[in-house]
Structure 1
Amino acid sequence: MIEAYSFGQMKIAGKIYSRDLKVINGQVVPNWWRKEGHRLFSEDIADILQAHPEFLVIGTGAYGAMSLSPEVEEALKREAIEFEALPTGRAVDLFNRLWQEKKKVAGAFHLTC
């Protein structure tokens, strides 16, 4: 579960992260870099697609600056993975709710912009 989020920082299991990250099968994958900084492609979430969660929560940044390429949506639909892309603060709330409901949820979070 994510303990806190503020612009540029996220706290998980007592550790503070200051770079974009993913959460897959309850494990943090820190220092997440994407093919293009503010555009998400399926190769950027290949490890999430392989883990095949029930739900993927995408944090698009504090102000929603990161967008999804159409191929991401197609890949998630093809794999029958439900998803929601929201500004990161709202995405954290959704991720935590799904986590508490014991869903197999993954997260991909842009921490700034």
Structure 2
Amino acid sequence: MRIESYRFGEIIIDGKRYTSDVLILPDRVLSWWRKQGHAVTVADLAEAVAARPEMIILGTGAYGVVRVAPEVEKFLAAKGIQLIVAPTGEACQKYNVFAGKHRVVAGLHLTC
């Protein structure tokens, strides 16, 4: 998977355009809904963790509005999964760098 472009409210992954939040797994892209829209909890990452990644990259929106609960980092560390949290533009860049070298999952908030 490769992110071709990202702008507020839109991302293009492998030629396909998405306009809602996405979870990029090693073999597919899913819509990503969280229990609380602007927060990421352990429960929101169940599918991501099931993909057995080495790394999870979370895009917190164009302006970094999404917050990651403190227990998320502890939970992932206990499973040996590295966590990177960044505004979505930066998260997309990091995904493209790491995806060719590691088993990576990305959860990306496309708007605020």
- Structure 1 residues without counterparts, runs of 5 or longer: none
Q: Which whole-Å CA distance do the structure 2 matches of 1:82 and 1:46 have between them?
A: 15
- Structure 2 residues without counterparts, runs of 5 or longer: none
State the shift of 1:26 in Å: 3.2
The answer for the alignment partner of 1:8 in structure 2 is 9
Q: Which whole-Å CA distance do the structure 2 matches of 1:41 and 1:85 have between them?
A: 13
Could you list the per-position Cα deviations for residues 51-79 of structure 1 after superposition, in whole angstroms to 9, with x for gaps in the alignment?
Answer: 12011110000000001111211211111
Q: Which whole-Å CA distance do the structure 1 matches of 2:8 and 2:20 have between them?
A: 10
Q: TM-score, normalised by structure 2?
A: 0.95
Runs of 4 or more off by more than 2 Å in structure 1? none
The answer for the alignment partner of 2:111 in structure 1 is 112
Tell whether 2:48 aligns with 1:77.
no
* Counterpart secondary structure, 1:91: helix
* Counterpart secondary structure, 1:61: coil
Q: TM-score, normalised by structure 1?
A: 0.94
Equivalent pairs counted in the alignment come to 111
Fraction of identical pairs, as percent: 41
Quote the RMSD (CA, aligned, Å).
Answer: 0.9
* Counterpart secondary structure, 1:106: strand
* Counterpart secondary structure, 1:90: helix
Q: Which whole-Å CA distance do the structure 2 matches of 1:15 and 1:112 have between them?
A: 18
Tell whether 2:34 aligns with 1:39.
no
The answer for the alignment partner of 2:57 in structure 1 is 57
> Structure 1 stretch 18-27 or stretch 3-12: which is displaced more?
18-27
One-letter amino acid of the counterpart of residue 108, structure 2: F
Task: Report if aligned partners of 1:52, 1:79 keep a CA contact under 8 Å in 2.
Answer: no
